[in-house]
């Protein structure tokens, strides 16, 4: 189950403090994009936007990425 958008794991995920392993290119591109965006702009507003995008993505495609969702949840 995808954690609620307010769960601290999302902030850790988008800032790179929580890493996940994935063999799926889409997820790896998201991770790299989040990392680059956060490094360019670590403001709370940007982090909030990154969390919203990641949460929406995994909510929509939870059935395709169950391993990744589980890693984020832990």
Sole residue written with tokens 């890693």: 71
- 44-73 burial, b at 16+ Cβ within 10 Å, e below that, comes to eeebeebbeebbeebeebeeebeebbebbe
pLDDT of residue 36: 96
pLDDT of residue 60: 97
Strand, helix or coil for residue 48: helix
* pLDDT tens digits, 3-24: 999 999 999 999 999 999 999 9
* pLDDT tens digits, 29-64: 999 999 999 999 999 999 999 999 999 999 999 999
What are the extents of the domains in the chain? Answer: 8-73
- Neighbour tally for 27: CB within 10 Å: 21
pTM over 0.85: yes
């Amino acid at each position: 189950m995808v954690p609620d958008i307010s769960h601290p794991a999302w902030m850790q995920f988008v800032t790179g403090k929580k890493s996940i392993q994935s063999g799926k290119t889409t997820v790896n591109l998201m991770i790299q994009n989040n990392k680059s965006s956060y490094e360019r702009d670590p403001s709370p507003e940007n982090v909030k936007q990154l969390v919203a995008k990641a949460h929406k993505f995994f909510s929509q495609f939870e059935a395709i990425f169950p391993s990744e969702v589980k890693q984020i949840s832990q």
